[in-house]
Amino acid sequence: MFDSETPPRTERRDAAENRQRILDAAYRLFDQNGVEQVSMNQIAAEAQIGPGTLYRRYRNKGELCLDLMKENIVLLFENIEAYMQENRSAPPSQRLNGLLELFMAFREKKSQLLKGVEDSASTNRTRARTQSPLYLELQQLLVELFDEIALSSGEQPQPNHIFKADMLLMALSSDSYSFQKEERGYSSESFLEQIRLTFHLLP
């Protein structure tokens, strides 16, 4: 019995050690060079593992960044849930604005890794982004709030609320945000204000 159980325990320990080596190596390289400049092969070399071992665990840098950010993403949604509970009697437009503020603060603190989560080895970045757990959770929250706003105005929830949530999240994406800051000169505060004006989200 003891002998037959030993190999699985060893494999699990080795897998956990490999995962931690990969994450540590990726974090060092991302911190030094930025996510975009680092290749999966560089991460494998830094972690002193074979590329095949790396790709068996992470299909692309997006998945790796998501694993690095997992605890931070859990904390983000815990903060959002707490905010929604504390403000459950507030108008839905106010709660939606609060959600956006929390997400923008998160984006500012974790911009490099968040960009890595959004990007993918796939050539279809929109498809990759819409399949990420972060995007799916935010989209669901936005659609629910858009529906609430409609109902509070005496309207019915609209099918285009899904489209509206998609467009809002695209506007909040790393590529869009970086362009508006670097090329248009918006601060994070003025960027968020423009988002509110464009999507009619003013309280």
Residue where a domain terminates, one of 17, 36, 58: 58
The CA distance from 96 to 94, in Å, is 5
Residues 68 and 168 both lie in one domain = yes
The answer to pTM > 0.85 is no
Chain centre to alpha carbon of residue 160: 23
Buried b or exposed e, range 66-92, using 16+ CB within 10 angstroms = bbbbeeebeebbeebeebbeeeeeeeb
Range of the domain at 30: 1-58
Give residue 2's pLDDT.
Answer: 37
DSSP state of 110: T
Do 41 and 136 belong to one domain?
Answer: no
- Domain check: are 89 and 27 in the same one? no
Cα pseudo-dihedral 94, 177, 72, 100, rounded to 10? 0
E strands within 98-197? Answer: none
Q: The domain that contains 67 carries what CATH number?
A: 1.10.357
pLDDT at position 163: 94
Residues 170 and 201 in one domain: yes
Going from the C-alpha of 187 to that of each of 94, 99, 104, 133, the distances in angstroms are 22, 18, 11, 27
Same structural domain, 23 and 34: yes
Q: Are residues 165 and 80 in the same domain?
A: yes
14, 41, 58: which is the final residue of a domain?
Answer: 58
9 and 69 in a single domain? The answer is no
CA 156/CA 138 separation, integer angstroms = 21
Domain CATH number, residue 38: 1.10.10.60
Kindly list the averaged pLDDT for each block of 10 residues, start to end, along the chain of length 203.
44 80 93 90 95 92 89 91 96 96 93 78 46 82 94 84 94 92 95 94 76
Q: Determine the pLDDT at residue 133.
A: 72
**pLDDT (0 to 100) of residue 122:** 41
The 10 Å Cβ neighbour count of residue 180 is 18
Last residue of a domain, one of 58, 84, 101: 58
Residues 6+ apart with CB under 8 A from 178: 115
pLDDT at 120: 53
Residues 51, 69 within the same domain: no
Q: Within this chain, do residues 72 and 20 fall inside the same structural domain, yes or no?
A: no
- Could you tell me if 145 and 184 lie in one domain? yes
Residues 137 and 83 in one domain: yes
**Which pLDDT score, from 0 to 100, does residue 203 have?**
65
Number of domains the chain contains = 2
- Do 135 and 76 fall within a single domain? yes
63-119 pLDDT, tens per residue?
899 899 888 889 999 999 999 999 999 999 999 999 999 999 999 988 888 888 777
What is the tens place of the pLDDT at every residue in 74-84?
Answer: 999 999 999 99
